[in-house]
Amino acid sequence: MEDHNFEKAVKTFEKLQSRYPYGRYAQQAQMEIAYAYYKQGEPAPALSAIERFIKQYPNNAHLDYVYYLKGLVNFDENLGGIMNALSQQDPSERDPKSLHESFDTFKELVTRFPSSIYAPDARLRMQYLLNTLAGSDIHVANYYLRRGAYIAAANRAKGVLSDYPNTPQTREALQVLVQAYDAMGMKELRDDAQRILKLNTGKSASAPAVK
């Protein structure tokens, strides 16, 4: 592990588990296997090892670390991919499943182990994930606007307001609503969205052109 030879480390830890399945180091070996797979950039076997550990050792003293590691694996797996794909992929086809799973895992960690040394970082990552997921939805909403799918754009924007109310993207969601309702001739709903936007920003509610 210290030499970053994670493939060999996994094989050695697995051999230890096989020979001494009930020994004092069996549980530690399972955690090390999950971590080695994570460092090697292999999320699927890492998550498999983590789930196996949680199932086999639900009362382990280091269970908070295992949940933290699970959150990290999902956090790293698709975050870069989603951000890089914003301008390269049809956003309606993008699946942020791993980010949702990462958020749920970090949430379980801070709920079950609020005093864990990993809880503060987990909370920071949760807020970052909320902002990222909200941003992804806004990108999809703008995509729908460009395509003239105004109902879909409005629905996605309303989803941001309801699912991610404490993120910076709420202003953009209101702007999308203003544009979508205006395009559909729904003047009353458009004016309501403009009014809320003004109350929340104190600035002009004129929605910028969709980029």
pLDDT digits 0-9 by tens, 37-69: 999 999 999 999 999 999 999 999 999 999 999
Closest to 1 (Cα-Cα) out of 50, 47, 39: 39
Q: What is the DSSP letter of 207?
A: P
Looking at residue 49, its pLDDT comes to: 96
CA atoms in the 13 A half-sphere facing the CB of 160: 28
For residue 81, count CB atoms less than 10 angstroms from its CB and return exposed for 0-12, middle for 13-18, buried for 19 or more: middle
Answer for the pair 173, 161: CB distance below 8 angstroms, yes or no. yes
Instruction: Please give the model's pTM, rounded to 2 decimal places.
Output: 0.80
Q: What is the average pLDDT value for the chain, to the nearest integer?
A: 88
Percent of the chain having pLDDT more than 70?
Answer: 86
Each residue of 157-204: pLDDT tens digit?
999 999 999 899 999 999 999 999 999 999 999 999 999 988 876 544
159-163 long-range Cβ contacts below 8 angstroms, 24+ apart: 160/134, 163/133, 163/134, 163/137
Cα distances (angstroms) measured from residue 125 to each of 48, 106, 121, 149 = 22, 8, 6, 33
Answer for the pair 36, 10: CB distance below 8 angstroms, yes or no. yes
